[in-house]
């Protein structure tokens, strides 16, 4: 859902699959999260699918 949401807004992103990428999995764990998706937008982290929080992070980074 996050990928579709960002794509519809014209935002490019880099996907990291924690199921296939041990380094990406460790990055998420090091952030203190145990669930996905974790979306990093600049210094902002959005856990789960939350359009209002994604919009807030995008706006804070000047991307909205």
Rounded CA-CA distance 58/10 in Å is: 12
For 2-60, CATH gives 3.40.30.10
> What's the Cα-to-Cα distance from 9 to each of 21, 52, 57, 64, rounded to whole Å?
27, 13, 13, 8
pLDDT at 64 over 90: no
- Report how far residue 63's alpha carbon sits from residue 18's, in angstroms, rounded to the nearest whole number: 26
Q: Are 35 and 48 in contact (CB under 8 A)?
A: yes
pLDDT in tens, 13-57: 999 999 999 999 999 999 999 999 999 999 999 999 999 999 999
């Amino acid at each position: 859902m996050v990928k579709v949401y960002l794509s519809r807004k014209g935002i490019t992103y880099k996907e990291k699959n924690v199921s296939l990428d041990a380094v990406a999995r460790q990055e998420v764990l090091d952030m203190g999260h145990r669930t996905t998706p974790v979306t990093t937008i600049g210094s902002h982290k959005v856990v789960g699918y939350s359009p209002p929080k994604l919009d807030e992070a995008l706006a804070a980074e000047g991307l909205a």
